[in-house]
Amino acid sequence: MIKERIAWPNGAKCACCISFDMDADSILHLTKPNDGFRYVSAISGLQYGPYVAIPRIIDSYKSLNIKQTFFIPAWCVENYPKTVELILESGHEIGVHGYMHENLLDHTLDGERQILEKVMNIFQNYFGYAPKGFRAPLYNFTNNSGELLVEYGFDYDSSLMGDDMPYIITPKNGEIIELPTHWGMDDGPQFVQPFIYTGRPTRSPTSGFEIFKQEFFAAYKYGSLWLPVFHPYASGRLARWDVISSFLEELVSKGDVWFATLGEIATYVRHQIKIGNYHPLKIKVPQYSQ
């Protein structure tokens, strides 16, 4: 089923990283710059992420003894510094996710560069180092993103969907490791309600999580990467996190599943490629020039 296998560390059957995109209320203010502050109830639901869900998730990770990755818009770093501090103090990784969760497809090369420049300065000021991982808000990696990520020294991206396994993307100025995921691994379609109620039904915690379990069992069977994309305000809710964290306990107790940050996975994959043990797909980005 998978042509190019990789030997995961210590004989693990697959690699796992729950990636949380802590968007909080950034996108509300981006889309409603003049009156976003009036949406008190919507903001309360989105702030549940940094205030309630993240401390809960960090506690679970601590008891499971695993380190994972969080992608955070820099606006949230400025507005929720204590939450960000908690994530970092606990040894987890933080990656770039725009300034205010911008749709990068709405921006030119210069506009995208300005956003990245601003974000890198904020990360440098708050953390004292440059982040190594990137996920485009809404997965909207553009025809310019790859080149910019190489220019700013990123190790890996996690916005694309081109394989089940880690692969390499080659913008014209270099190479980056791609840690792919896909919409079936995103909690949005299962659990997220937009700011205004639309009548869209919400899944129960167990039925909504079933899709992620099936994805895990395939990753375990075929030796790939299990990379769910969750949002603290959605999957960090009490009943959902109860279901998810119980499943994580099962996985950790198996003893043959490798939980790591995406940064660690990218470093490992890069090394396996270098020593000739892994020969992943290489995909040029952008795929087309016009």
Residues binding Zn ion (CB under 5 A): 21, 23, 137
CA dist., res. 146 & res. 142, Å (int): 8
- Taking the C-alpha atoms of residue 199 and residue 237, their distance in angstroms, rounded to an integer, is 20
Q: Hunting for tokens 């919409």 — which residue is that?
A: 183
Residue, CB closest to Zn ion? 21
Nearer to Zn ion, 261 or 272 (CB): 261
Least gap, CB of 99 to Zn ion (angstroms): 12
The least CB distance from residue 116 to Zn ion, in Å, is 16
Amino acid at 201: P
Q: Which residue lies nearer to Zn ion by CB, 21 or 164?
A: 21
Instruction: Determine which helix (DSSP H) or strand (DSSP E) holds 19, and give its type and residue range.
Output: strand 19-21
Smallest distance, Zn ion to C-beta of residue 72, A: 9
Return d(Cα 24, Cα 29) in angstroms, integer: 10
Nearest-angstrom CA–CA distance, 17 and 11: 17
Q: Which is nearer to Zn ion, 137 or 228 (CB)?
A: 137
Minimum CB separation from Zn ion for residue 135, in Å? 7
Pick the closer one to Zn ion by CB: 23 or 112: 23
- Closer by beta carbon to Zn ion, 70 or else 226: 70
User: Which amino acid does the sequence have at 169?
Assistant: I
Taking the C-alpha atoms of residue 84 and residue 20, their distance in angstroms, rounded to an integer, is 12
> What distance in Å separates the CA atoms of residue 121 and residue 129, rounded to the nearest whole number?
9
Least Cβ distance, residue 233 to Zn ion (angstroms):
11
